Amino acid sequence: MGYKIKQDDRVLVISGKDKGKSGSVIRVIRSSNRVVVEGVNIVTRHIKQRPGVSQTGLVKGEASIPISNVMLIDSDTSLPGRVGWKFLEDGTKTRVVKGKKNAIE
Protein backbone atom coordinates (compact mmCIF):
# COMPACT_ATOMS: atom_id res chain seq x y z
CA MET A 1 0.00 0.00 0.00
CA GLY A 2 1.40 3.39 -0.98
CA TYR A 3 1.49 5.99 1.75
CA LYS A 4 0.56 9.53 0.84
CA ILE A 5 2.00 11.05 4.02
CA LYS A 6 5.78 11.01 4.32
CA GLN A 7 8.38 12.11 6.85
CA ASP A 8 8.92 15.91 7.09
CA ASP A 9 5.48 16.70 5.58
CA ARG A 10 3.40 19.46 7.19
CA VAL A 11 0.07 18.01 8.30
CA LEU A 12 -3.11 19.15 10.03
CA VAL A 13 -4.79 16.95 12.65
CA ILE A 14 -8.45 16.57 11.61
CA SER A 15 -9.73 14.31 14.38
CA GLY A 16 -9.10 13.53 18.05
CA LYS A 17 -8.09 15.54 21.09
CA ASP A 18 -5.55 17.62 19.12
CA LYS A 19 -7.94 18.51 16.28
CA GLY A 20 -6.88 21.71 14.51
CA LYS A 21 -3.19 21.50 15.47
CA SER A 22 -0.55 21.24 12.77
CA GLY A 23 3.02 20.06 12.76
CA SER A 24 5.71 18.23 10.87
CA VAL A 25 5.71 14.44 10.56
CA ILE A 26 8.61 13.02 12.57
CA ARG A 27 8.06 9.37 11.72
CA VAL A 28 5.70 7.14 9.74
CA ILE A 29 5.01 3.72 11.31
CA ARG A 30 3.88 1.62 8.36
CA SER A 31 3.24 -1.60 10.31
CA SER A 32 0.42 -0.01 12.32
CA ASN A 33 -0.67 2.81 9.92
CA ARG A 34 0.32 5.55 12.38
CA VAL A 35 2.38 8.76 12.32
CA VAL A 36 4.24 10.77 14.94
CA VAL A 37 3.62 14.51 14.52
CA GLU A 38 5.77 17.18 16.16
CA GLY A 39 3.96 18.88 19.06
CA VAL A 40 0.83 16.70 18.82
CA ASN A 41 -0.41 13.99 21.23
CA ILE A 42 2.09 14.79 23.98
CA VAL A 43 2.29 12.06 26.63
CA THR A 44 4.26 11.77 29.87
CA ARG A 45 6.31 8.64 30.43
CA HIS A 46 8.09 7.49 33.57
CA ILE A 47 11.66 6.53 32.62
CA LYS A 48 13.64 4.54 35.16
CA GLN A 49 17.34 5.24 35.63
CA ARG A 50 19.60 2.63 34.03
CA PRO A 51 22.83 2.55 32.01
CA GLY A 52 22.56 4.15 28.59
CA VAL A 53 19.50 6.30 29.37
CA SER A 54 20.31 10.01 29.25
CA GLN A 55 17.05 11.45 30.59
CA THR A 56 15.20 9.88 33.51
CA GLY A 57 12.11 10.68 35.57
CA LEU A 58 9.02 12.18 33.95
CA VAL A 59 9.74 12.61 30.24
CA LYS A 60 7.28 14.27 27.85
CA GLY A 61 7.21 13.29 24.21
CA GLU A 62 5.02 12.73 21.17
CA ALA A 63 3.00 9.55 20.77
CA SER A 64 1.70 8.22 17.48
CA ILE A 65 -1.74 8.92 16.03
CA PRO A 66 -3.61 7.11 13.24
CA ILE A 67 -2.56 8.22 9.76
CA SER A 68 -6.24 8.69 8.87
CA ASN A 69 -6.46 11.53 11.42
CA VAL A 70 -4.06 13.82 9.52
CA MET A 71 -4.39 15.79 6.30
CA LEU A 72 -1.49 17.08 4.20
CA ILE A 73 -0.98 20.88 4.07
CA ASP A 74 -0.14 22.33 0.66
CA SER A 75 3.23 24.09 0.75
CA ASP A 76 2.15 26.75 -1.76
CA THR A 77 -1.19 27.85 -0.32
CA SER A 78 -0.85 26.58 3.29
CA LEU A 79 -4.30 24.99 3.02
CA PRO A 80 -5.04 21.35 3.89
CA GLY A 81 -6.38 18.95 1.31
CA ARG A 82 -6.47 15.42 0.04
CA VAL A 83 -3.44 13.92 -1.61
CA GLY A 84 -3.51 12.79 -5.23
CA TRP A 85 -0.99 11.74 -7.81
CA LYS A 86 -0.16 13.49 -11.06
CA PHE A 87 2.07 12.50 -13.96
CA LEU A 88 4.23 15.33 -15.30
CA GLU A 89 5.10 15.80 -18.97
CA ASP A 90 8.47 14.10 -18.50
CA GLY A 91 6.70 11.00 -17.10
CA THR A 92 7.56 11.45 -13.43
CA LYS A 93 4.89 10.83 -10.82
CA THR A 94 4.40 13.51 -8.16
CA ARG A 95 2.06 14.16 -5.22
CA VAL A 96 -0.44 17.01 -5.44
CA VAL A 97 -2.87 18.40 -2.87
CA LYS A 98 -6.42 18.57 -4.21
CA GLY A 99 -9.79 19.49 -2.76
CA LYS A 100 -8.39 22.27 -0.61
CA LYS A 101 -10.45 23.30 2.41
CA ASN A 102 -10.69 26.76 3.91
CA ALA A 103 -10.45 25.71 7.55
CA ILE A 104 -11.20 22.90 9.98
CA GLU A 105 -13.95 23.75 12.46
- pLDDT tens profile 18-50: 999 999 999 999 999 999 999 999 999 999 999
Could you give the number of structural domains in the chain?
A: 1
Q: How many CB atoms lie within 10 A of CB 102?
A: 7
Euclidean distance between CA atoms 64 and 36, whole angstroms: 4
> 93 in a domain, yes or no?
yes
Mean pLDDT value across residues 81-104: 82
Instruction: Please give the residue range of the domain that contains residue 82.
Output: 10-98
Q: Which amino acid is at 21?
A: K
**Least reliable range by pLDDT among 8-12, 52-56, 65-69:** 52-56
Euclidean distance between CA atoms 16 and 52, whole angstroms: 35
> 94 in a domain, yes or no?
yes
Euclidean distance between CA atoms 100 and 80, whole angstroms: 6
Q: Bigger pLDDT: 99 or 92?
A: 92
pLDDT of residue 63: 96
CATH code of the domain containing 84 = 2.30.30.30
pLDDT of residue 52: 87
pLDDT band per the 50, 70, 90 thresholds, residue 105: very low
